[in-house]
Structure 1
Amino acid sequence: MGDTATSRRAFLRASAMGTLASFVPLAATAAAAASGGKAAPAAPAFPPAPLAPQPLQLLPAGAITPTGWLRRQLQIQADGLGGHVDETWPDLGPESGWLGGKGESWERGPYFLDGLLPLAWQLDSAPLKAKAQRFIDWTLANPWPNGMFGPRSNDDWWPRMVMLKVLAQYQELTGDARVVPFMTAYFHYQLTALPERPLRDWGRMRWQDEVAVLVWLYTRTQDPKLIELAHLLKKQGYDWQGMFANFSFKEKVDVKALEAKMRNGGGDVFMVDDGLQVHGVNNAQALKASPVWSLISRSADDRAAIHHQLDMLDTYHGLPNGMFSADEHLAGRSPSQGVELCTVVEAMYSLEMALAITGDAALGDRIERIAYNALPGTFTDDMWAHQYDQQPNQVEVSLHRRPWTTNGPEANIFGLDPHFGCCTANFHQGWPKLTASLWMATSDRGLAATVYAPCNVSTVVRDVPVAIEQATDYPFRGDIVITVKPAQAVAFPLRVRIPAWCRHPVLKVNGTAVAVKAEAGFHTIERTWKPGDRIALSFPAEVVTEKGYNNAVTFVRGPLVFSLPIGESWVKWRPRGLTNDWQIYPTSAWNYGVAPEAKAEEHPIGDRPFAGASPAVTLSIKGQPVAWKAEEGAADPVPEKVVATGEPAVTLKLVPYAGAKLRITAFPALSGTPVA
């Protein structure tokens, strides 16, 4: 996913039922699914023994629908490339191999569906459901005789891993009775085929994505062959936990040395371990590897290993937007380095899964940091164009050479498929899967508010249908109102995540204040819930400064990271069907050192929630011009010691990170207070 190497393109061109245990499908048919029917609300299914118990579980797909600003954001995606990319991009057009055509037949069709499918149902959009259904129906109707599925032009395991994720969501959304036997037949075939045709390259690095689906299916069928297959995938897959236990990639990848090693040993940087193990998207997907495997191994060490993994990435490659640098390989801590959009959405999905498996509230904080900054920060406000790489310190978006490790000159522009088209297909999962992770079930048969955004929930708790309305303008505001509406009074624990950044949270139940006790980051409310019971949360957010690379200063308020917007001159580079490719050149100064004090001011939240033209929150800080330059369209690494130019200090207005497409997010710190 995401390289420009000609060998990879050559690879793409070259690549171009068993017995079931007891399984009762939901009361929906394939015909109902095809017509847009919905499955009834269902209780979540926790993994049974011998799988390890997990404290939280994602609700069935479709149980959570967006409201408020989040629904507007999802509609923006649907009105932009998210709902129309197949109409303007041949790789997802009618000749797609995943529609039976002779076009692109590898990962792009499954990637597209992995976000289109939940988006269509969350918005209850008949046109989007119909688009997704075409791919689903072709896939389910055309299995190979041996149990394999997908386009006949390649037999790579990797794209099937993505389509399996799609099919699991689809079964939960519709109850289509075709899915479980179809998946079972494939897994039984794969179990017999892997010894002679083992995992390679991308599939070998991403085995954990398939194991997650195996766990999903085992939970429904208790087929022992699925556990056997999981062990085989783990054996053939890359040892991510071992790599991070002895993490040696502590500097920006020296791509010339890496390429030289490849030439001497054969192969290339994108197809052998030396390149794949430092590949950004692989590392994002690997964040789920240890938690997912802990369900099989039952090892507490496996379950906890994600924290060390994140610590290594933060320590040596961490960026202010919650991500780690990878452009396209690990690139150090300078905020002028980039991170790929695929890496962003895959990190979110891995963390969402890990939050369910570990129950660790800190992962919810991380998800919000990424989702409310890095995710919208790499799109135009209308979501008709995106970047391949974004930078926290992004002073120009152009075709100039940048300090990337392995990416090319198109990687930073906004467009249809800049640099490489994997992100064009894969970005769709970001917002819909975040929506699907806002609430989770708890192992003691309750519910948990895990990530905050406006939504409605429809589920079953202790055999009672329960609806929840969550009204909030979070992350732009700190107040959240949760209204619980069970079909009848029912007792169950309800947990609310207390963000680690909030020093003085306030909690009221039906107007009565409750002392907050955030055990492991969650406060638990035990009561018999009656229709209309109301929880009011308030998370007052202070402006804090965080120190980063070369002691650079970043301003943060709650989940939001703030940036100095640089004046933007948009230049259309070329038309791309329904959209365009764009370069952006700066029209204002950006090289400021800053003092640490900041004042926040709230504003109305616009129709486009993250748009820089109507920021919902701004910060005022003092800055002074300093000696700090750009070269070839990229800001030099933040200077550790700055020399002021002697010009007067000015008041700088910062906006949420995503609102500034040209921006400075990490500033050199001035000693003392600037003289006005």
Structure 2
Amino acid sequence: MASPDLVPLKYELFPLGSIQPNGWMRDQLRLCGQGLGGNLFKFYRFVKDSTWLGGTWEYSALNEAATYWYSYIVPLAFSLDRSGDEALVQELKRQAEHFLEYTLENQSDDGWLGPEKTRQTRGIWARCLLLQGLMNHAIADASKRSAIVGSILKFMRLVDKMLKNDYEGYLPKEGDEFDKQWFGVVRAHELSTTLQWLYDVPEASEDRHTIWTVMEMLWEGSRLAKRDWTVFFADENFPRNPSVRHESPNFQHGVNVAQGLRYPPQLYRMHPSPNLWTLCKEAVDRVFEFHGTPAGTLTSDEYIGGLSPRRGSELCCSAELMFSLAYMHRLFGDNNFADRMELAAFNALPAAISPDWFSHQYVTQINQPWAREFPLEQDEKTPFYDVCRYANVFGLEPEFPCCTVNHPTAYPKLLMNAFLRVPIPPSSQALPTILHAYMIPSTLNTDELTIRCETNYPFAPCATLYSISTVQSFDFFIRVPGWATPSSTIEFGEKTTSAPHSEQFIPNVDDPSFASLHRIQIPPSQNFKISVTLRADVDIQYHADKSISISYGPLLFAHTIDFEETTRLPRNHKDQISHCAEVANFEGDEDWKTRVRDHDLLPTSPWNVAIDPTKEMKLISEDPWMDAAKSRIRELPNPVWSKSSSPVYIEASVIEVDWPVKNGTAADPKDVDTSAAGVRGRPFRTKLAPYGTAKLHIAQFPTVNL
């Protein structure tokens, strides 16, 4: 009997390595590789001395640290361009290959992958991350593909036996050690991320029935464990209020929710239905309606926390949201998913990472007047659900180390989604079709064409210049962001054409399944040029508590707070007092030794401001094009997400107010007195900067009538 087919992805990834970064994205990936992303392998106990590499260190019985690391080191290593970063690329690939070789060489005879030796310690969850790394490694390096696919198939056959044995390794039983808190149970559907790829590769043709059966058992196991995300995201069950301490199942854990958004669409690929497709959209809408932030992520100071701008948003949550939203955009093609993904990528993520990529926060606040161990009064608690008061310090492991080993995954996987291809049936006479989904600076190289994109995106007004070389005609789709105004324009033609064609940059595809796309038919050419100018309007968002936030294009804007920085050796996440020994006791002269530090940022300028939304919000920016011919774009500074680096600001009218401090941080805007009795001094004009560049910031303002 023929195997059932998976619902095809609307847009498919190009092989890893086909897309390389340019401009600010290349700078960011380089900084990541030179920062923690490329150095954890050299010193960090949960990677260098992980049980996965013969060591003894893990931060939990999930044994996930090294697999999180491997899942990002592969796309990071194979995305950077060897021509400009040869030594760095070689080092990153060396790290990835060392882990790969050790893992494959130590695969158990029965097929198990990983260091665990007993049934009680063998949990499936960390293998989900491992297989994502293995999949990308096999795609990027043809010389390793056969060994990797063979190893995955051997493991998959073992999982089939385990799940048939009362869900061994998935649903914990008495005496099991691998997942006492059931975190792996709410995440083990992630195995299908790789298995759905494996299902369609030629090498797995004889195992398709087994692969399908394993995935079906994963869905059924989640139902038996009452961890079915389609139930959680349903309107009648979804939690609309912040999680209540000690009463919330791990369903409401912020990172679990971000990863859980992948459950319905992966299930949809096997069992499509209109109701499930609707739920996929509604799940995203509900998550953001009740727990979203203006920066594009969720309040998730361990568990989902409502809409207060004083609550924390975990860096891991932002990275996983990006992955989920990009996946849903590839599957369904809905522009809303892509727009939301960019909000997290260009706001929440960079705000939580230091410009040099050597430190990060565990949680970031929309209103963050300082980054330090919270000063608490006697018997006072932080506003967070379950993270320590050190969690918004910029450091190595300011809280649980999952963010340390996972945050570098975000931008390499964003780059993988920049250009996508539209599957064309073999019998079709349609032209090959390529979509530029995320207008980040990048270059697509295939055997038959090259598309180079130079851009200052996402710093609207955005200038984007494409240079295309192709031996055959193809349809080129460019995604039109939902925030782009009708004044946006596009020009295109051969470089030798004296007068390129010009038109509005708006959706122009009649087919409703390709809504929000602008289509150009590209002829065979050695130098076809496209220039796009994206314009936006200042957008004021009014919140239920009468506070406001301000955006322009895909960027949230914030009142930037000057700060004084103090630095110390990194503290251990377990007590936030003792030092991380691998840094404190290291006697070599490696560059990372002096750069891996924890940083307090203490305000030196007023942070307590209210804003008058009725006064002019004036955009301050230069023309991103350097010439009338639109052949050159102004370069962005490096690093792009640092204080005073933005090419665009919004000038607004503000005044200092009596803003109380509660629970160690700024009180909610609704608790601020903006009457005549509560204001201080005279109004003044201030420049709001992109949130991602402002490490200390106020981005959800109380309002005042000036």
**TM-score of the two chains, using structure 2 as the length reference:** 0.82
Where does residue 655 of structure 1 map in the other structure? 689
Q: Which residue of 1 aligns with 2:194?
A: 213
Aligned partner of 1:229 in structure 2 is 214
Indicate which of 37, 44, 59 corresponds to 1:89: 44
Can you list the C-alpha shifts for 1:64-113, whole angstroms capped at 9, x where unaligned?
Answer: 110111101111111111111222321111x3222223333811111111
The 8 Å contact of residues 207 and 234 in structure 1, kept in 2 or not, is answered as no
* Partner deviation per Cα, 1:563-604 (whole Å, 9 max, x = no partner): 111121222243452211122222221222112232122366
- What residue is the counterpart of 2:150 in the other structure? 181
Q: Which residue type is aligned with residue 330 of structure 1?
A: I
Q: SS of the counterpart of 2:459?
A: coil
Matches of 1:567 and 1:633, distance apart in 2: 19
In 2, distance between residues paired with 1:198 and 1:572? 43
AA in 2 matched with 1:288: R
Partner SS, residue 644 of structure 2: coil
Aligned to 2:91: 127
1:199 aligns with 170
User: Within 5 A, what are the aligned runs for 1:557-572?
Assistant: 557-572=552-567
Q: CA deviation at 1:304?
A: 3.6
SS across alignment from 1:509: strand
Q: One-letter code of the match for 1:471?
A: E
Q: How does 1:235-384 map to 2 (within 5 A)?
A: 235-237=220-222, 238-245=227-234, 246-256=236-246, 258=247, 274-384=248-358
Q: Secondary structure at the match of 2:389?
A: coil
Per-residue Cα deviation, 1:281-311 (whole angstroms, up to 9, x for no partner): 0000111111122111122332342221121
Work out whether residues 627 and 643 of structure 1, in 8 Å CA contact, stay in contact via their aligned partners in 2: no
Query: Over residues 173-203 of structure 1, what are the superposed CA-to-partner deviations in whole Å (9 max), with x where a residue is unaligned?
Result: 0021101111111111101111321524222
- Indicate yes or no: 2:613 matched with 1:642: no
Query: Structure 1's 364 and 248: CA in aligned 2 closer, same or farther, altered over 3 A?
Result: closer
Contact 2:569 2:597 in 1 (8 A): yes
Letter in 1 for 2:563: E
1:416 aligns with 2:380: no
Taking only the aligned residue pairs, the percentage that are identical comes to 27
One-letter identity of the residue aligned with 2:617 = A
State how far apart, in whole Å, the 2-side matches of 1:304 and 1:166 are.
30
Q: What is the Cα deviation at residue 63 of structure 1?
A: 1.2
Amino acid at match of 2:300: A
Per-residue deviation at 1:634?
1.1
**Residue pairs, 1:437-586, within 5 angstroms:** 437-444=417-424, 445-459=432-446, 465-477=448-460, 478-486=462-470, 488=471, 490-504=472-486, 505-510=488-493, 511-515=500-504, 516-519=506-509, 520-575=515-570, 577=583, 578=593, 579-586=596-603
* More moved, 99-108 vs 276-285: 99-108
Q: Does 1:168 align with 2:135?
A: yes
* 2:701 is the alignment partner of 1:667: yes
Q: Which residue of 1 aligns with 2:107?
A: 143
* Contact 2:124 2:188 (C-alpha < 8 Å) held by counterparts: no
Aligned partners of 1:333 and 1:549 also within 8 Å: no
- Conserved in 2, the CA contact under 8 Å of 1:304 and 1:358? no
Among candidates 103, 113, 136, match of residue 57 of structure 2: 103
Partner-residue secondary structure (3-state), 1:277: helix
Shift in Å at residue 411 of structure 1? 1.2
Partner Cα separation in structure 2 for residue 646 and residue 137 of structure 1? 64
- Contact kept, 8 Å, 1:198 with 1:236, in 2: the verdict is no
Of 347-356 and 599-608, the range deviating more from structure 2 = 599-608
Whether contact under 8 Å (1:294, 1:302) holds in the other structure is: yes
The one-letter code of the counterpart of 2:237 is F
User: 1:264 corresponds to which residue?
Assistant: none
C-alpha distance 432-186 of structure 1, shift in aligned 2 (>3 A): same
What's the counterpart of residue 19 of structure 2? 64
Match of 1:594 among 611, 619, 629: 611
How many Å separate the matches in 1 of 2:490 and 2:275?
A: 34
- The residue type equivalent to 1:533 in the other structure is F
Question: Would the aligned equivalents of 1:336 and 1:635 in 2 still touch at CA under 8 Å?
Answer: yes
**Mapped partners of 1:247, 1:470: distance in 2:** 44
How far, CA to CA, are the matches of 1:660 and 1:397 in structure 2?
12
**Contact 2:658–2:680 (CA under 8 A) maintained in structure 1:** no
2:405 paired with 1:425: yes
Structure 1 spans left out of the alignment, 5+ residues:
1-20, 22-47, 259-273
Distance 1:354 1:559 in 2: 19
Q: RMSD over aligned Cα, in angstroms?
A: 1.9
Quote the Cα distance in structure 2 between the aligned partners of 1:378 and 1:428.
12
Corresponding residue pairs, total = 603
Report what 1:37 is aligned to.
none
Question: Quick check: 2:480–2:507 contact (8 Å CA) kept in 1?
Answer: no
- Checking the alignment, whether the CA contact within 8 Å between 2:394 and 2:600 is kept in structure 1 is yes
Q: What letter is aligned with 2:420? A: M
Say whether the 8 Å CA contact 2:16–2:79 is kept in structure 1: no
In 2, distance between residues paired with 1:373 and 1:625?
Answer: 25
Deviation at 1:518, TM superposition (A): 4.5
* CA–CA separation in structure 1 for the residues paired with 2:452 and 2:322: 24
Q: For the Cα contact (< 8 Å) 1:335–1:549, is it kept in 2?
A: no
Shift in alpha-carbon separation, 1:353–1:248, aligned structure 2, 3 A: closer
Question: Are 2:122 and 2:169, in contact at CA under 8 Å, matched by a contact in 1?
Answer: no
Contact 1:318 1:325 in 2 (8 A): yes
**Conservation of the 8 A alpha-carbon contact between 1:334 and 1:549:** no
Correspondent of 2:72 among 110, 115, 120: 115
CA distance in 1: counterparts of 2:420 and 2:31, whole angstroms: 26
Return the alpha-carbon distance in structure 1 between the equivalents of residues 405 and 507 of structure 2: 43
Distance 2:538 2:318 in 1: 25
Distance 2:18 2:275 in 1: 32
How far apart are the structure 2 equivalents of 1:49 and 1:609?
A: 47
* 650 and 97 in structure 1: CA distance in 2 versus 1, 3 angstrom threshold: same
Partner secondary structure for residue 178 of structure 1: helix
Whether contact under 8 Å (2:490, 2:530) holds in the other structure is yes
Task: Report the residue type matching 1:314 in the other structure.
Answer: F
Whole-angstrom CA distance in 2 between matches of 1:495 and 1:473? 19
2:640 counterpart of 1:609? yes
**CA distance in structure 2 between the aligned counterparts of 1:188 and 1:522, rounded to whole angstroms:** 42
Supply the distance in 2 between the matched residues of 1:138 and 1:438 (Cα, whole angstroms): 32
**Distance across 2 between alignment mates of 1:522 and 1:616:** 27
Partner of 1:30: none
1:79 to 34, 41, 48: 34
1:623 maps to which of 651, 654, 658: 654
Matches of 2:286 and 2:409, distance apart in 1: 26
* Deviation (angstroms), 1:617: 1.7
Deviation at 1:527, TM superposition (A): 4.7
For 1:595 and 1:613, locate their aligned partners in 2 and report how far apart those are by CA, in whole Å.
24
Q: Residue type of the partner of 2:70?
A: L
User: Could you tell me which amino acid in structure 1 is paired with residue 557 of structure 2?
Assistant: F
List structure 1 segments (4+ residues) > 4 angstroms apart after TM superposition.
none
Does 2:366 correspond to 1:392?
Answer: yes
Deviations along 1:483-505, one digit per CA (max 9) or x if unpaired, are: 2212x1x2332211001111123
SS in 2 for 1:564: strand
